[in-house]
Structure 1
């Protein structure tokens, strides 16, 4: 079974790429994979196997 997590990513005027990279890496350490990144709403949907 797969579970999903939605994260609101805060965009700013500077350092967007670094902050996005940090957010993705933090969740990857817990087994989450980016499933979808919504460009205009600043949301990231992660997924992982619930039975991992």
Structure 2
């Protein structure tokens, strides 16, 4: 079984790429896998096995 997490992304004037990279790496360490990025709503969808 899978579980999902939706993270809202807040854009700023500087450092967006680095902040996004740090966020993706932090969730990856927790076992989350990036599934989709919604550009219009600035949301990132992650999934992982629930019984890991």
Aligned residue pairs total: 52
| Residue-by-residue CA offset, 1:1-52 (whole Å, 9 max, x unaligned) | 0100000111111111101101101111100001001112110000000011
How does the TM-score come out when normalised to structure 1?
0.93
CA distance in 1, matches of 2:20, 2:11: 8
Identify unmatched segments of 5+ residues in structure 2: none
**What's the counterpart of residue 50 of structure 1?**
50
1:11 aligns with 2:26: no
- How big is the alpha-carbon RMSD for the aligned residues of Structure 1 and Structure 2? 0.7
Aligned counterpart, 2:2: 2
Task: Calculate the TM-score normalised by the size of structure 2.
Answer: 0.93
Give runs of ≥4 in structure 1 deviating > 4 Å: none
